[in-house]
Amino acid sequence: MSELHHECGVCAIYHLPGREASPLSPLQGPEEVSRLMPRMLLDVQNRGQLSTGMTSYNPDRSKLLDTYRRLGTVSEAFRLGHRGKAESIMRQYAGRAAIGHVRYATCGEDDVSYAQPFERHHLQKHKWFSFAFNGQLANYAALRDKLLAEDDHHLTRSTDTEIIMHEISRELSGDRRPSLIEVMHNVAGRFDGAYSLALLNAQGEMLIARDPLGVKPMCYAIEGPLLAAASESVALLNLGFQPESIRSLAAGEALTVVDNEFTIERFAPAGRTAHCFFEWIYFANVASTMDDRSVYLARKALGEELARMETVPKGDDLIVVPVPDTSKAAADAMAYALGVPSVEGLIRNRYAGRTFIEGGSGRVAKAAAKYTPLPQVLSGKRVLLVEDSIVRSTTMRVLLDRIRTVGGAREIHVRVACPPIIAPCFYGIDMSRIRELFAPPFVERGQPSEAMFAEMAAELGADSLRYLPVEAVARAVGKPADQLCRACITGDYPTPCGQKLYQVALDNYQNHSDSAAERTYEAAATTAG
């Protein structure tokens, strides 16, 4: 599934004065806690490599808030390979609080102006803020059209990030001085979609919020004077926070820092949750824990589910091979349960870049360069090739060809630790047209069956293909099915606008009007609103 565009990652850190120092306190002093931000962003860079940035708060400089944004990876943006230049950036943007972001584009252009955080300047400090978010608003079009219809408004970017910025600004307009929780409560009532959000204003106030359905993850921890939050727990664990102190923010909750004191409050009523199951299957770092469920243990359980379904006869020539890296936990667990060796028949070239950076034919070339089959491991073998998912099938087709022609495998049986992806995502994953997905043309002909899987295997060039059933996901994640967002494998969306967009996507697919140049999110924006 390395051809899939990822989501985004959000981080935040704050040094709270007046608290007893801890081993986690920054060596350079509380006014330079922002130095920890690049380290945190490195730990969530699996969620985005297109651009990165941070905003810091420092009451002792004229730019109370100052934002640094660049295209590229964290190392590239912060010049981590050049000590002098990295130090210069850290000095210029030093502050007692900071928020940060890594991005892939689910909407908008690959341009630095789309990089986050977004900063809105204002003469009044409580109206001067910067924020970063992970997710996507399914009702982006309706919010956009409403804004443009009022007064003499103009939007400079085709992105919901700008919409969120203006909606927050609307809440702060006039003589009102609403609390951060009030602002979040009011804008959440107008948002349909998924988001985790970090905001910092020029008064030194911070807000960390998770959408009312909890689609996107957000973790936090506090020890002594240091408070930190991130899309994934691994970023906090690697800062030195103890595992037991790291918690997931509940759906509809927000953490705020006001007057140097932090509180956790609910900004939306408690209701059903819709945690994105893909976080556990693919997106999250395998070392992370989200909503009290280990990502590693979830993937291990997926492999055990695959093992229970396996029908290929055992033998000395049968091996399990994971597609690196996110499939390894599932492959190892499957192999252990079957009593079959799990071996690395594919070696990932970590310097070839991520496949989904390129589009179209570029993905094919990237996929070919990204993995090296080992003939010494694969030659003459029957291979159970374990992949976390098949989305567009570009990478899988290339891998199957190379495993046969270069690796010399005798048979290749593809095992997918996920059900077939049959529907787009409108909550922050870049797969928004049905036509770009591999499974729909096969699944629309009837319920999954051995005959259907055989047809799909033949199309890919595999000897056999098997997916997990939909019900296996909830068992592996350890959450009730009604607490998960499984829209991309069921077509059942947790929000009204998400369901409307799916109908638009279905109509476009059935009418053969999918546009290769536009996502459903963009091409059908007005209709979906």
Which of these, 107, 97, 41, lies nearest to 69 by C-alpha position?
41
Q: What pLDDT score does 357 carry?
A: 37
Taking only the tens place, the pLDDT of each residue in 456-486 is 999 999 999 999 999 999 999 999 999 999 9
Shared domain for 330 and 204, answered yes or no, is no
Residue 249 lies in a domain: yes
- Residues above pLDDT 70, as percent of the chain: 91
In SS3 terms, 180-192 reads as HHHHHHHHHCCCC
User: Could you tell me the pLDDT band of residue 363, with boundaries at 50, 70 and 90?
Assistant: low
Residue type, 66: D
Q: How many helices (H) and strands (E) does the chain have?
A: 20, 23
Distance CA 256, CA 314 (A): 56
Residue type, 493: Y
- Does residue 159 carry a pLDDT above 60? yes
Q: What pLDDT score does 247 carry?
A: 97
User: Could you tell me the pLDDT band of residue 522, with boundaries at 50, 70 and 90?
Assistant: low
Greater confidence, 504 or 106? Answer: 504
Which of these, 208, 143, 136, 205, lies nearest to 172 by C-alpha position?
205
Distance CA 289, CA 246 (A): 9
Residue 522 lies in a domain: yes
Is 8 one of the catalytic residues?
A: yes
For residue 327, the enclosing domain spans 294-528
Shared domain for 357 and 240, answered yes or no, is no
User: Could you tell me the pLDDT band of residue 359, with boundaries at 50, 70 and 90?
Assistant: very low
Find all residues with CB under 8 Å of 110, minimum gap 6, and list them: 50, 71
- Does residue 108 carry a pLDDT above 60? no
Label residue 6 exposed, middle or buried (CB < 10 Å: 0-12, 13-18, 19+). Answer: buried
Q: What pLDDT score does 450 carry?
A: 86
Q: Where are the alpha helices (DSSP H) in 385-469?
A: 394-405, 440-443, 450-460
Residue 33 lies in a domain: yes
State whether residue 200 is helix, strand or coil.
strand
- Does residue 158 carry a pLDDT above 90? no
Q: What pLDDT score does 511 carry?
A: 87
Shared domain for 306 and 169, answered yes or no, is no
CATH number at 450 reads 3.40.50.2020
- Does residue 111 carry a pLDDT above 80? no
Shared domain for 159 and 192, answered yes or no, is yes
Last residue of a domain, one of 238, 271, 304: 271
Shared domain for 513 and 378, answered yes or no, is yes
User: Mean pLDDT, to the nearest integer, of 233-250?
Assistant: 96
Helical (H) or strand (E) element with 56: strand 51-57
User: Mean pLDDT, to the nearest integer, of 87-95?
Assistant: 96
Q: What pLDDT score does 526 carry?
A: 37
Shared domain for 312 and 267, answered yes or no, is no
Q: What pLDDT score does 57 carry?
A: 98
Residue 470 lies in a domain: yes
The residue with tokens 């079009």 is 141
Taking only the tens place, the pLDDT of each residue in 184-209 is 999 999 999 999 999 999 999 999 99
Distance CA 440, CA 436 (A): 9
Residue 286 lies in a domain: no
For the ranges 46-50, 284-288, 360-364, 444-448, which has the lowest average pLDDT? 360-364
CATH number at 243 reads 3.60.20.10
Shared domain for 251 and 371, answered yes or no, is no
Find all residues with CB under 8 Å of 421, minimum gap 6, and list them: 389, 390, 391, 431, 437, 438, 439, 488, 489
Residue 281 lies in a domain: no
* Confidence (pTM): 0.91
User: Could you tell me the pLDDT band of residue 152, with boundaries at 50, 70 and 90?
Assistant: confident
- Does residue 366 carry a pLDDT above 50? yes
User: Mean pLDDT, to the nearest integer, of 156-169?
Assistant: 90
Residue 278 lies in a domain: no
User: Mean pLDDT, to the nearest integer, of 330-350?
Assistant: 95
Shared domain for 218 and 340, answered yes or no, is no
Q: What pLDDT score does 114 carry?
A: 86
User: Mean pLDDT, to the nearest integer, of 394-403?
Assistant: 94
The residue with tokens 């600004």 is 169
- Does residue 307 carry a pLDDT above 80? yes
Q: What pLDDT score does 524 carry?
A: 47
Q: What pLDDT score does 515 carry?
A: 55
Q: How high does pLDDT run on average in the chain?
A: 90
Q: What is the DSSP track for 294-315?
A: EHHHHHHHHHHHHHHH--SPP-
CA-derived radius of gyration, the chain: 23
Shared domain for 225 and 338, answered yes or no, is no
User: Could you tell me the pLDDT band of residue 525, with boundaries at 50, 70 and 90?
Assistant: very low
- Does residue 442 carry a pLDDT above 60? yes
- Does residue 241 carry a pLDDT above 60? yes
Shared domain for 212 and 314, answered yes or no, is no
Taking only the tens place, the pLDDT of each residue in 487-514 is 999 999 999 999 999 999 999 998 877 6
Shared domain for 491 and 380, answered yes or no, is yes
- Residues above pLDDT 90, as percent of the chain: 76
Select which of 8, 219, 418, 488 is catalytic.
8
| Domain count of the fold of the chain | 2
Chain centroid, CA 230 distance in Å? 12
The residue with tokens 């606008």 is 497
User: Could you tell me the pLDDT band of residue 86, with boundaries at 50, 70 and 90?
Assistant: very high
Find all residues with CB under 8 Å of 29, minimum gap 6, and list them: none
Residue 282 lies in a domain: no
Shared domain for 39 and 94, answered yes or no, is yes
User: Could you tell me if 491 and 413 are in contact, meaning their C-beta atoms sit under 8 angstroms apart?
Assistant: no
Taking only the tens place, the pLDDT of each residue in 254-297 is 999 999 999 999 999 999 999 999 999 998 999 999 999 999 99
